[in-house]
Structure 1
Amino acid sequence: MISVSNVSKVYALASGDFIALKETAMQVRKGEFVAIMGPSGSGKSTLLQLLGGLDQPTTGNIVVDGIDLTKLNEKERTLFRRKKVGFVFQNYQLLPMMTVGENIALSLTANNTPKNEINTIVQKLLSEVNLQDKESAFPSQLSGGQQQRVAIARALAMKPSLILADEPTGNLDQKNSEDILKLLSRLNKEEKITVVMVTHDQQAAQVADRIIVVRDGMIVEEGHKGGYRNEKVANRMA
């Protein structure tokens, strides 16, 4: 489903070029749950942004569901994100002036979905994330865990084939973190949605089928579910 070939990302800064990714290559199978780990500044969030078409690589190709993102213009990338990708962020990124229901419906409204269909979809998604009684609440009235569940419901509104989650449990306590990970895992297993998750948390990464370790802009190792292949890989996370 996802193919990353020889991808580099270079940012031109006043102090000189900053290389965020260096000739990166990876594959993610359809329906797979992959965790990307690495220290701060390693390039893992940059990689996630490139997979979602939020940015373009300096060199290389990224193909998602047969679509080469490097050949799309800005408008085409926007349509790709709207139809193919659900984003989940550490800080939830809910609009504070909108209710839970309105936040979930954002992409549907932008896609000119009929109002009766929007209402049906929002109700279904609220049920899926166990927030049936929060449709009229505002984000400030919810706990962090509830806000993240709203963010996941919003990500699911357009029935994406891919969820990209950037530190989805980073601001949550252990109980809420476990709930969010269980929800992502269930969506992956039952709905067959491909999930790529960036995380610092090695325990959180264990829900994934595969762990990819990024350091200094390069993929340095992959680990199977249940742990890294060897202690050397774990040490690279320090």
Structure 2
Amino acid sequence: MITIQEVSKVYSLESGDFFALNNNNIHINKGEFAAIMGPSGSGKSTLLQLIGGLDQPSSGNLIVDGIQLNNLNEKERTLFRRKKVGFVFQNYQLLPMMTVSENIALSLSANKASKTEINLRVQQLLKDVNLEGKGSQFPSQLSGGQQQRVAIARALAMKPQLILADEPTGNLDQKNGEDILALLSKLNNEEQITIVMVTHDLQAAAAAGRIIVIRDGEIVNDQKKGVLGHESMASSLA
């Protein structure tokens, strides 16, 4: 599903080159739920942006669902994101002037789906994320947990095989955070959607089947659930 080969991301600064990512190699299989952890500034969000086609690597090969992203131009990357990837962000990124249904339908409308198709898909998604009856409301009328559910529904609109989640529980209380993680786990287990989630929270990462730790732009640990204990993980993150 995701193959990263010798990928680096370098920014040219007045003080010299800064390696946000430095020669990393990862393979994430279809249907995996992987959490990416690391200190602030370690490169984890940069890696997520590269996988999602929001940015390009400075060097190396990046292949997602058989598509080599580093060979795509901007228009091709836009189409890739629209059709292949669902994004979930910490701050939801819902459009406040649009209703819940309109927010969910954004990618469907951009892909010129019919009104009937859009309506059916939106109603099904509202049901899937337990927000039936909320379609006509605006984001400001919802709780943080409900807004994140709308964001997940929007991410699922085009039936992507990959969801990229950047700190999806970061703005939520414990109960709402647990509910969002349960929803992501359900999507992974029941629909075999590949999920890559950036988080700083060990409890959130525990929902994933695999934890990848990045520090100073390099992967320093990559373990599947049950192999790496909390003490070892905490040491990797220190």
Q: TM-score range by the shorter chain?
A: over 0.9
Gaps of 5+ in 2: none
Aligned position for 1:171: 171
Paired residue total: 238
Mapped partners of 2:91, 2:13: distance in 1: 26
Alignment of 1:67-86 (within 5 A): 67-86=67-86
- Name the Cα RMSD after superposition: 1.1
Q: Report the residue type matching 1:125 in the other structure.
A: L
Matched, 1:185 2:185: yes
Q: What is aligned with 1:155? A: 155
CA distance in 2, matches of 1:131, 1:115: 20
Structural mapping, 1:177-216, within 5 Å: 177-216=177-216
Corresponding residue number in structure 1 for 2:22? 22
Paired residue type of 1:93: Q
Alignment correspondent of 1:38: 38
SS state of the match for residue 237, structure 2?
coil
Q: Indicate yes or no: 2:205 matched with 1:231.
A: no
Say whether 1:2 aligns with 2:8.
no
Moved over 3 A (4+): 229-233
**Equivalent residue number for residue 115 of structure 1:** 115
What do residues 155-206 of structure 1 show as CA deviations (whole Å, max 9, x unaligned)?
Answer: 0000001000000000000000000000000000101100000000001111
Q: What is the CA distance between 1:229 and its match in structure 2? A: 5.0
Q: d(CA) in 2 for partners of 1:196 and 1:123?
A: 26
Shift in Å, 1:37:
0.5
SS at match of 1:86: strand
Cα distance change of structure 1 residues 232 and 189 upon mapping to structure 2, 3 Å threshold: closer
Query: Where does the alignment leave 5 or more consecutive residues of structure 1 unmatched?
Result: none
TM-superposed CA distance for 1:225, in Å, is 1.1
Q: Return the alpha-carbon distance in structure 1 between the equivalents of residues 90 and 63 of structure 2.
A: 25
1:56 aligns with 2:56: yes
Whole-angstrom distance in 1 between the partners of 2:33 and 2:8: 23
Q: Work out the CA distance in 1 between the residues paired with 2:111 and 2:230.
A: 47
Q: Cα offset for 1:232?
A: 4.1
Query: What residue identity is the alignment partner of 2:209?
Result: D
Q: % of aligned pairs identical? A: 73
How many angstroms apart in 1 are the aligned matches of 2:124 and 2:227? 35
Moved more, 226-235 or 90-99: 226-235
**1:131 pairs with 2:119:** no
Q: CA deviation at 1:15?
A: 3.7
Whether contact under 8 Å (2:221, 2:236) holds in the other structure is: no
Q: Is the Cα contact below 8 Å between 1:206 and 1:226 reproduced in 2?
A: no
Tell me which residue corresponds to 1:94: 94
